[in-house]
Amino acid sequence: MSPNADKRPALLLSLVPVIFLMGLLIFNIILFKDDATGGPNQLALLASGALAAVIGIFVLKRPYDEIENRIVKSISMAIQATLILLVVGCLIGTWILSGVVPSMIYYGLQLIHPAVILPVSALVCAI
């Protein structure tokens, strides 16, 4: 760790990448309208991360190796949840393609009145 490891950045300096990201996302929405959900948002996230790294290296005087190690640690913590979401998405997609979800909706509406299907579904899922 560097000698500055215990020194924390000021709140305003910490908010610079967040404000930069929000500005880029707003710019993407204004510029690309409905197409803003694709590539432009990923570029905004990368640019914001790069700005945070530049602030860490040049303003806070942290070594690049420390920043890189913390990035890898953060990604390795988040990858487990990402893989779970990916598997659940694949399962739901398979169910939709094979007709399981439409069948569940059809038979559910046959068994339960449509006015109470949402509360009953929430109750069944809570059990």
For residue 34, pLDDT over 80 is answered with no
The Cα–Cα gap between 97 and 113 comes to 26
For residue 1, pLDDT over 70 is answered with no
Q: Which of 42, 68, 44, 45 is CA-nearest to residue 56?
A: 68
Name the residue type at position 19. I
For residue 77, pLDDT over 60 is answered with yes
pLDDT per position as a tens digit, 10-19: 999 999 999 9
Contact 17, 55 (CB under 8 A): yes
Q: What's residue 8's pLDDT?
A: 87
End-to-end CA distance of the chain: 48
pLDDT per position as a tens digit, 44-65: 999 999 999 999 999 999 999 9
Name the residue type at position 17. P
DSSP 57: I
Tell me how far the alpha carbon of residue 31 is from its chain's centroid: 22
For residues 42, 46, 47, 49, the Cα torsion angle rounded to the nearest 10 degrees is 140
Residue bearing tokens 């700005």 = 51
* Global confidence as pTM: 0.69
